[in-house]
Amino acid sequence: MNRYLIILLLITFLSCKESPKAASHEQPSVATSENSNIDYLEESEVDFDNRMEWWREARFGMFIHWGAYAVPAGIYKGKETKNVGEWIMKTESIPISEYEKFATSFNPVEFNASQWVSALKDAGMKYMVITSKHHDGFGLWDSEISDYDIMDASVYKKDILKALSDACKKEDIKFGLYYSTMDWHHPDAQADTYAKGGTKDENNEERFNMYYENYMKPQLKELITKYDPAILWFDGEWTPEFTHEQGLDLYQYVRSLKPSILINNRVDKGRKGMQGMNDGKMKYAGDFGTPEQEILDGTSTLDWESCMTMNDTWGYKTNDHNWKTSETLIFNLVDAASKGGNYLLNVGPDAKGVIPEASIKRLKDIGDWLDINGEAVYNTESVGENYKQGDVIRIMKKKNASTLYATSFKKPEETFTLDAIHPEDGSNIYILGIKENLDWSYKDEKLMISVPLKALNELGEKYAWTFKIENGKTK
Ligand code: FHN
């Protein structure tokens, strides 16, 4: 074998493992996409509906933000960051060499994947989305493409994603992965400009494309091959070097690796800020919109999922105790469902691998509520414009059935009145959790239901009460 070929092979090998000095620009693109003769952006409505079906029925998932940022936990050199915990590297302008020490010392000795999946199931959640790699670039899996991961860079040296994907599979929970396009560590991404939020100059775009083709795509291929995620949840798409053309290509590439996978709209550049939906001006890639820290104002013909924190941070912060009440979280879930959306509720485990007790308490409260009222959330669809009556009543319908649900966040009194539901004669009406068939009448376009107050008090519910109306129809 001649000397030139040996040198070329050596360069190719050395530049495959990411390290600041090794990002080679001579590297041929290593991206390969299977099934690349199919255009996944031209999918039929029937195929799309079939692919989305489990996710639409699930309605409720667990978001997990976890990584090296749990080590500082919002505090750097004695100063509390005012921003979210997972942004501490940028908001406190921590030099890469300094931040890498957090990755090295990351040692979640109390992490137990089965316990996390149990907490998810106890909450009535049906799927998980965990940060495989957030903006800081640190990977929670054993990557062949990079040394900046839990296996090579940290003292922990166990494959977190493998443990979680196995635990989810065992409990029939769909396993999803968050992946940040923006990367503050990779030398061809934003490593030297992350403090300035990336800079859109010629050289950066060329380097970013090297990162995109020779690092990001190979990492995504190994994530899909090794952990079989049902969802890929992209983020950090606003980084200036990432283009709409790359977004379309990325969607095709990921679908070609696993055609049944679901991909959010942050795979491309169409998201309108925190409102989360595509701006509709042009065709962007992505299967569902991603409102963040908010729920859509009304219904949408598009699929969407509102992602939200329980306190004010995604990644763990020692001193963030601003927890939303369980009632607020249940309202958000029901409000989203009544508008046809999913709810992805976040937990931020600490550096030991423990989900905060305040999160566990809220997850249990939501799960207890869903044990009685879940049929009004799972496998439902929006009734359209009549999805609400005032501020505290939300109305849903069972998918492919004439059953309606009216959930009230104010405790019903002797007679409960609904303005937009007209049951067929002889329909049965219940309060979920109470077996009794309720008396009702319909007069002057109002449905009046007699409420069994004794049974209602014995139910012991304290957040919201759901009326189930069989064979009902909305105006
Ligand atoms: O910058 C991230 C943030 O850290 C967090 O991951 C949220 C969750 O969706 N997404 C981005 C902000 O929109």
Distances in whole angstroms, Cα of residue 472 to Cα of each of 363, 374, 395: 32, 19, 11
- Rounded to 10 degrees, the C-alpha dihedral 419/424/425/429 comes to -70
Q: Is the pLDDT of residue 365 over 60?
A: yes
For residue 401, how far is the Cα from the chain centroid?
A: 28
- What's the confidence (pLDDT) of residue 248? 98
Helix, strand, coil distribution of the chain in percent, nearest 5: 35, 20, 45
| Pocket flag, ligand 1, residue 314 (CB < 6 Å) | yes
Tally: H helices and E strands in the chain: 12, 20
Average pLDDT over residues 137-154: 98
**Model confidence band, residue 191 (pLDDT cutoffs 50, 70, 90):** confident
pLDDT band at 29 (very low <50, low <70, confident <90, very high): very low
**What's the mean pLDDT in 306-324?**
98
Give the whole-angstrom CA distance, residue 368 versus residue 433: 12
Query: Residue 446: beta bridge partners?
Result: 443
Residues in the chain: 475
Q: Does the pLDDT value for residue 206 go beyond 60?
A: yes
Where does the pLDDT of residue 196 fall: very low under 50, low under 70, confident under 90, or very high at 90 and above? Answer: confident
Residue 60 is inside which H or E element, if any? strand 60-64
pLDDT at position 468 is 98
Report CA-CA distances (Å) from 350 to 4, 30, 83, 252.
Answer: 50, 36, 17, 35
Average pLDDT over residues 132-148: 98
pLDDT on residue 190: 83
Both tokens of 319, joined, read 């001193």
The string of DSSP letters for 163-230 reads HHHHHHHHTT-EEEEEEES--SSSTTTTTTTGGGT----HHHHHHHHHHIIIIIHHHHHHHHHHH--S
Ligand 1 centroid to residue 235 C-alpha, Å: 7
Q: Cα separation of 462 and 326, whole Å?
A: 10
With 70 as the cut, is the pLDDT of residue 340 above it? Answer: yes
268 CB near ligand 1 (under 6 Å): no
281 and 271 in contact (C-beta within 8 Å)?
no
Which residue, 166, 101, 75, 106, is CA-closest to 353?
Answer: 106
Q: How far is the CA of 289 from the centre of ligand 1 (A)?
A: 14
- Sequence-ordered strand ranges (E) for 241-304: 262-263
Nearest atom, ligand 1, residue 182 CA: 1
23 or 236: which leads in pLDDT: 236
Residue 25 reports pLDDT greater than 80: no
pLDDT band at 281 (very low <50, low <70, confident <90, very high): confident
Q: Give pLDDT tens digits for 446-462.
A: 999 999 999 999 999 99
Burial of 52 (0-12, 13-18, 19+ CB in 10 A): middle
pLDDT bucket at 198, cuts 50 / 70 / 90: low
Residue 26: the pLDDT is 33
Structure tokens, 74: 């919002």
Q: Report whether pLDDT(341) > 70.
A: yes
pLDDT bucket at 55, cuts 50 / 70 / 90: very high
| Cα 471-60-355 angle, rounded to 5 deg | 150
The answer to whether residue 7 scores a pLDDT higher than 50 is no
Distance of alpha carbon 289 from alpha carbon 41, whole angstroms: 16
pLDDT of 34 reads 54
84 lines ligand 1 (CB under 6 A): yes
Instruction: Examine the pLDDT at 202 and tell me if it is beyond 90.
Output: no
Here the tokens at position 456 are 């209602």
β-sheet bridge partners, residue 442: 447
Distances (CA, A) of 382 to 124, 302, 450: 20, 12, 26
Give the tens place of pLDDT for each residue, 392-436. 999 999 999 999 999 999 999 999 999 999 999 999 999 999 999
d(CA 451, CA 437) in angstroms, rounded, equals: 10
pLDDT, residue 475, reads 79
Tell me the β-bridge partners of 472: 423
Q: Is the pLDDT of residue 18 over 70?
A: no
pLDDT in tens, 103-112: 999 999 999 9
State residue 21's pLDDT score: 32
Predicted pLDDT at 51: 98
Is the CB of residue 241 below 6 angstroms from any atom belonging to ligand 1? Answer: no
Atom of ligand 1 nearest to the CA of 84: 4
- Among 231, 275, 314, the mutation site with the greatest number of ligand 1 atoms within 8 A of its Cβ is 314
State the pLDDT confidence band at 195, using cuts at 50, 70 and 90.
confident
What residue's CA is closest to ligand 1, atom 10? 235
Q: Using pLDDT thresholds of 50, 70 and 90, give the confidence band for residue 201.
A: low
In the chain, % of residues over pLDDT 90: 85
Range scoring the smallest mean pLDDT among 13-17, 28-32, 123-127, 439-443: 28-32
- Residue 23 predicted with pLDDT over 80: no
307 CB near ligand 1 (under 6 Å) = yes
Amino acid in position 197: G
pLDDT at 10: 46
φ and ψ of 196, to 5 deg: -100, 10
Whether the predicted pLDDT of 4 surpasses 60: no
Helix (H) or strand (E) holding 162: helix 160-170
- Give the model's pLDDT for residue 22: 36
Considering only CA atoms, which residue is closest to atom 1 of ligand 1?
236
Cβ contacts of 189-198, under 8 Å, gap ≥ 24? 189/137, 189/215, 189/239, 189/241, 190/239, 190/241, 191/20, 191/96, 194/89, 194/90, 194/135, 195/90, 195/93, 197/240, 198/239, 198/240, 198/241
Residue 323 Cα to ligand 1 midpoint, Å, equals 18
Going by C-alpha positions, the residue among 182, 203, 170, 148 that lies closest to residue 25 is 203
**Is the Cβ atom of 469 under 6 angstroms away from ligand 1?**
no
Question: Is pLDDT of 268 > 70?
Answer: yes
| Residue pointed to by tokens 């003769």 | 37
Contact 468, 403 (CB under 8 A): yes
Non-local (6+) Cβ contacts of 242 within 8 A are: 181, 182, 208, 212, 236, 269
Does the pTM of the predicted model rise above 0.85?
A: yes
Would you say the CB of residue 88 lies under 6 angstroms from ligand 1?
Answer: no
Q: Residue 240 carries which side chain, given as an amino acid letter?
A: P
Confidence at 279, pLDDT banded by 50, 70, 90:
confident
- Looking at residue 194, what is its pLDDT? 74
Residues above pLDDT 70, as percent of the chain: 91
